[in-house]
Amino acid sequence: MSKFWSPIVVTLHPYVAGEQPAIANLTKLNTNENPWGPSPRALDAIRTATDDNLRLYPDPSAKKLKETLAAYHGVSPDEIFVGNGSDEVLAFIFAGLLKHDAPLLYPDITYSFYPTYSRFFDIETKTIPLDDSLSIRIDDYHIDCGGIILPNPNAPTGIGLPLSDIQRLVATHPDQVVAIDEAYVDFGGETAIPLVRDHDNLIVVRTFSKSRSLAGMRVGYAVAQRPLIEALERLKDSFNSYPLDRLAQVAAIASIEDEDWFVTHRDKLIANRAWLSEQLEARGFDILPSQANFIFARKPGWEGKLLATALRERAILVRHFNQPRIADFLRISIGTEEQCERLVSALDSILA
């Protein structure tokens, strides 16, 4: 606290990111990063763009990236908004589309940036409890509200909703914006992007950080009809004209163009998720059905915090949330084959 702080600084509850410690030989399964490096074509594009042109500002509208994404998703380039990571895209959505007189709805257990942004932008909220199986129940959102946001698949549970549920949610709230955060959809979920054509209240948010292994480049985007995108552009151009630097733009384009890398690594991740789930189930863990690049697991009779601490002592990081209903769970990012094996043998020595 300091007398120099504006009042808003005092009232904030900053998001606490998973740790990024500088420990050698760490098995890092705590922040849902991709365990493999990005497409070599993305790395080449970054190297090629690393030249004297860096003295120039980047394209403020990221035209070529939007055209590439538009072709990929079958929408128009002006139906795409790009930002400095999907976190920034989400921030603009909170400020520009979800702040209204009625409360914003989101699940009680979800991405913890949502309460942080709500406070930052002074948005009234109402959390909707997950059901007993820790799933989102769409019918519970059928109440008066100013907007809705949820991840699909949800985090940290990994549980996805079928497209028919998202369609019903969007159709039953024609006067509110429904934002679907698809950070993990590539690992087995169903995307809502095809619904954008028929629904002027839907906005779908995507990131290059997980399935495209470019968390370090900070690229995210949203897909919606023109009026919603225009709101985000007005905010962006009142805040920072150049959210995506030159290297981020070329890396993202090259990544989208390398469909082989994408499919191969997505499939490897899904195979490792199946293997790790099977191994943990054989050791008595309960695992929620995951469509994401992590699993949410608990071992009956063992405290989540205790297991996380014991793993940490063996140089393996997983994420534990000290929160009601989920305190017994560990969120484990899916790693390489070798990382998954290391986790399983560490658990064997802890449980022995």
Ligand X SMILES: *Cc1c(COP(=O)(O)O)cnc(C)c1O
Binding residues for ligand X, per CB under 6 A? 32, 85-87, 111, 151, 155, 181, 183, 207, 209, 215, 220
Residue whose CB is less far from ligand X, 5 or 239: 239
CB of 223 to ligand X, least distance (A): 14
Residue whose CB is less far from ligand X, 85 or 160: 85
If one counts every other C-beta atom within 10 angstroms of the C-beta of residue 316, the result is 23
If one counts every other C-beta atom within 10 angstroms of the C-beta of residue 28, the result is 19
Residue whose CB is less far from ligand X, 11 or 20: 20
CB of 112 to ligand X, least distance (A): 9
Ramachandran category for residue 209: left, alpha or beta (phi over 0 → left; psi -120 to 50 → alpha): alpha
- Farthest CA pair distance, the chain: 60
CB of 85 to ligand X, least distance (A): 3
Q: What is the DSSP string of 192-203?
A: -GGGGGG-TTEE
Residue whose CB is less far from ligand X, 332 or 346: 332
Residue whose CB is less far from ligand X, 79 or 181: 181
How far, in Å, CA of 167 to CA of 150, rounded? 13
Sheet holding 294-298, edge to edge: 286-287, 294-298, 330-333
CB of 30 to ligand X, least distance (A): 12
Residue burial 183-212, b: 16+ Cβ < 10 Å; e: rest: bbbbbbbbbbbebbeebebbbbbbbbbbbb
CB of 182 to ligand X, least distance (A): 9
